Amino acid sequence: MNATTTGTGTGTQIEIRGLHKAFGDLEVLRGIDITVARGEVVCVIGPSGSGKSTLLRCVNLLEEPTSGTVSVAGTEVTDPDVDIDRVRRRIGMVFQSFNLFPHLTVLENLTLAQRRVLRRGKAEAGRVARANLERVGLADKASAYPAQLSGGQQQRVAIARALSMDPELMLFDEPTSALDPELVGDVLAVMRSLAQEGMTMLVVTHEMSFAREVADRVVFMDGGVIVEEGPAARVVGDPQHERTRTFLARVLDPAAAPAPAPGDVAAAPAPAPGDVGKDG
């Protein structure tokens, strides 16, 4: 049997329906439905342990859903017969940690997967890598090693590496959470430029200004469900749900935010194994 091709139109890049994910008795995702259109930027926000990172990892099957379906560009990745490696070639993913090979130069980090997975020749892989280093403002760092770069530079190299695989969409899992505050801006600037170029992006983030300015839609998650979603300006600027308002008040102005109600603390789920050490 061939992997399922769904009936989604060419304008749909990601379609998630009835997604559940449990780690033992802990149900982390409890029936998630999301559609991301081609060229759309969707930011997922929410408290720690809400399932954001697990959701992202289910898109390219780094976490296998308990039930439900996930389709990317019309191909159901949750079909048991899917060629997941083929699908993953269309998806770029940037994690909290940079995951660069410390013993390889920046250029070698960018060309390795191109040569092994895409079977590009050395010259072509190098040309693509240098073009993407230019794209993220690091053309002069091709011969440097990761240890010689700042955290922000390493994250931009990680983005350039993902772009060098010619992805159709990009997944970002808290890409700035491990960075010093002064390094965050450069990474977000690269992401803004990608959005302006029309790259489809699903971004788990705690950067509310980025979500408000760049995202087409914002999804607020809590307790493994979608509490609220809609245009970025409305969800971040004028949330309709009380839980969203409480969360944003704490994030945007922690000093002025009220102390959490006892019910809020009790309702907060424990982090999933895939979310340990993350904000999602």
Query: According to the model, what pLDDT value does residue 252 have?
Result: 84
Average pLDDT over residues 263-273: 43
* Continuous segment of H or E residues that includes residue 55: helix 52-59
Q: What is the pLDDT of residue 258?
A: 55
| DSSP bridge pairs for 92 | 170
Residue 276 has pLDDT above 70, yes or no: no
Distance CA 98, CA 123 (A): 25
pLDDT digits (tens, 9 = 90+) for 227-247: 999 999 999 999 999 999 999
Task: Name the pLDDT band for 269 (thresholds 50, 70, 90).
Answer: very low
Mean residue pLDDT across the chain? 88
Q: How confident is the model at residue 98 (pLDDT cuts 50, 70, 90)?
A: confident
pLDDT in the model for residue 113: 94
Helix (H) or strand (E) holding 133: helix 122-135
Q: How many other C-beta atoms lie within 10 A of the C-beta of residue 253?
A: 9
pLDDT class for 259, splitting at 50, 70, 90? low
pLDDT of residue 10: 53
Predicted confidence (pLDDT) at residue 264 exceeds the cutoff of 80:
no
CA dist 61 and 79 (Å) reads: 11
Q: What is the pLDDT of residue 171?
A: 97
Query: Would you say residue 267 has pLDDT above 90?
Result: no
Q: Give the Cα separation of 248 and 242 in Å (integer).
A: 10
Give pLDDT, residue 253.
Answer: 76
Q: Is the pLDDT score of 190 beyond 80?
A: yes
- Alpha-carbon gap, residue 36 to 194, rounded angstroms: 16
Residue with tokens 């990761």: 146
User: According to the model, what pLDDT value does residue 278 have?
Assistant: 44
**75-76 and 91-94 beta bridge pairing:** unpaired
Identify the residue with better confidence: 9 or 10. Answer: 10
Question: Is the pLDDT assigned to residue 178 strictly greater than 90?
Answer: no
Check pLDDT > 70 for residue 162: yes
Q: Determine the pLDDT at residue 217.
A: 97
Q: Highest mean pLDDT range out of 29-38, 92-101, 171-180, 254-263?
A: 29-38
**pLDDT at residue 274 above 50?**
no
High-pLDDT (> 90) share of the chain, %: 79
Rounded CA separation 20/4 (Å): 19
